[in-house]
Structure 1
Amino acid sequence: MALVTEEVRAKAEIYYGAETCEEKANGLLKEMEMPNGLLPLDNLEECGYDKESGLFWLIRKERIEIFFEGSDRLVSYEVLVTGYIEKGKIKKVSGIKSKEFGFWVPVREVYVHDPEITFKGPAGVSRTLPISAVERTS
């Protein structure tokens, strides 16, 4: 939790418990115009957001993998996912990887440019998909 220092925690909004975290994180994603389903928000233990810097974090008990049928991609979410969020963008992401050609590639940035979303990894590697590829209806 290197980014989530005690100094950051002191000025951030922090929530605990699966139901509360899911509600608050969904609200943040909606406010920042990010698609529903981009991040798995069920079973979170803690979530936090520092409005001043844009830093957010999600903490769950264990790493999970989700297969997004719309993109035909397996995505791994670590116990701690962090990033800096602003309208239509998440930068300096940590804790998310996508399986590409049999290799796990870290996701470092996410940009929404309706009707598409772009995921950027290290060394300029990127993939653009329709937003519908990551959206969930429930």
Structure 2
Amino acid sequence: MADLKQGGIVKKGQQEGLKFAVSILEEYGLPLGLLPLADVIEVGFVKTTGYMWILQAKKVEHNFKLIKKLVSYDSEITGYVEKKRIKKLKGVKAKELMLWPPVNDISIEDPPTGKIQFKSLAGITKVFPEEAFAAGQ
């Protein structure tokens, strides 16, 4: 784990951490409301590999109202950020009927269609309007 974080920029605390997480999403063309975080302990990012990690005090559940989707964010979230995509994502689950399949890949269609795609290891793929994940949603 320490190897993955080597050379990373780290921001501590809710205010600094959240600001940093949002700036990373913005820089890579991802919706700013994608990671509704609470009680952030630490956010880190290794620019050379795209590896990002987020530590929060406890698991957070967020309801994206526009798409009526409940999403769970573990106290530790990790993944690799690249242009319009987060891959090898860990710590994020979306409620699907009675199940909570882990989301492991998020990508925005290119050329832009206003859609964002979520994939789980279980092979479930869902596409939603990007604005459902705008800041403040």
TM-score (norm 1): 0.91
1:94-109 pair list within 5 angstroms: 94-109=90-105
| Structure 1 residue 42 displacement after superposition | 3.7
| Structure 1 residue 53 displacement after superposition | 1.1
**Which residue pairs with 1:49 in the alignment?**
45
| Structure 1 residue 65 displacement after superposition | 0.5
The SS at the match of 1:62 is coil
CA distance in 2, matches of 1:39, 1:20: 14
Q: Deviations over 1:10-52 (max 9, x none)?
A: 3111111111111111111000000011011342110100111
The SS at the match of 2:67 is coil
**Which residue pairs with 1:17 in the alignment?**
13
CA distance in 2, matches of 1:97, 1:69: 16
CA distance in 2, matches of 1:99, 1:137: 20
Gaps of 5+ in 1: none
**Which residue pairs with 1:129 in the alignment?**
128
| Structure 1 residue 76 displacement after superposition | 0.3
The SS at the match of 2:122 is helix
Q: Deviations over 1:81-127 (max 9, x none)?
A: 00000010000000000000111111010001230000001132100
1:1-138 pair list within 5 angstroms: 5-113=1-109, 114=112, 115-137=114-136
Q: RMSD of the alignment, in Å?
A: 1.3
CA distance in 1, matches of 2:29, 2:38: 19
CA distance in 1, matches of 2:4, 2:122: 29
Runs of 4+ in 1 over 4 A off after TM superposition: none
Q: How many residues align?
A: 134
The SS at the match of 1:11 is coil
Which stretch has the larger CA shift, 83-92 or 16-25?
16-25
CA distance in 2, matches of 1:41, 1:63: 9
TM-score (norm 2): 0.92
CA distance in 1, matches of 2:5, 2:79: 14
CA distance in 2, matches of 1:8, 1:128: 30
